[in-house]
């Protein structure tokens, strides 16, 4: 009987460890999202560049990203599916407006990082 209890306890510990490993790490703008945006988006969405001129959307700071475009916010903290930034980079919009224009799309991992960041509240740090 004690061996059975020991095995159950060991199995529970292993399961708890696995569950902890599956929990997503904290995703922040500064450490996780900003490098993706610098790599794929900033080329067009900086002051004086084509994307910024067309939409008013600047990617020069967390504050600018959270402000959004001249038409309104692009991030709805807590809801990626309601965030136009996620919809555009994930390829869930009309193909003529998916981002980034004329470049390779973001990787699955990069899109997932942005999704998790938004879902977790779109925190800066």
Instruction: Count each helix (H run) and each strand (E run) in the chain, helices first.
Output: 6, 0
Higher pLDDT, 55 or 9: 55
Considering Cα of 38, then 42, then 47, then 49, what sign does the dihedral take?
positive
Is pTM, for the whole model, over 0.85? no
Q: Cα–Cα distance between 110 and 80 in angstroms, integer?
A: 14
Q: What band does 18 get if pLDDT is binned at 50, 70 and 90? A: very low
Q: Cα–Cα distance between 92 and 37 in angstroms, integer?
A: 18
Residue 83 clears pLDDT 90, i.e. is over it? yes
Q: Cα–Cα distance between 44 and 71 in angstroms, integer?
A: 18
pLDDT at 8: 56
Residue 51 clears pLDDT 90, i.e. is over it? yes
Range picked from 13-17, 18-22, 39-43 for highest mean pLDDT: 39-43
Structure tokens, 95: 């193909």
Question: Which of 39, 92, 91, 83 lies closest to 65, judged by CA?
Answer: 83
Q: Cα–Cα distance between 82 and 95 in angstroms, integer?
A: 18
How much is the mean pLDDT over the chain?
86
| 46 Cα distance to chain centroid | 19
pLDDT at 10: 47
Q: What band does 60 get if pLDDT is binned at 50, 70 and 90? A: very high
Which DSSP helix (H) or strand (E) runs through 65? helix 62-67
């Amino acid at each position: 009987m004690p061996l059975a209890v020991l095995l159950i306890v060991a199995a529970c510990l292993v399961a708890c460890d696995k569950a902890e490993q599956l929990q997503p790490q904290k995703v922040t703008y500064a450490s996780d999202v900003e490098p993706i945006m610098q790599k794929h988006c900033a080329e067009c969405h900086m002051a004086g560049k084509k994307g910024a001129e067309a939409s008013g959307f600047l990617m020069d700071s967390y504050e600018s990203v959270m402000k959004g475009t001249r038409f309104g916010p692009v991030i709805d903290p807590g809801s990626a599916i309601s965030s136009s930034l996620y919809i555009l980079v994930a390829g869930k919009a009309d193909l003529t407006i998916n981002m980034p224009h004329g470049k390779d799309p973001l990787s699955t991992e990069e899109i997932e990082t942005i999704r998790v960041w938004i879902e977790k509240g779109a925190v800066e740090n």
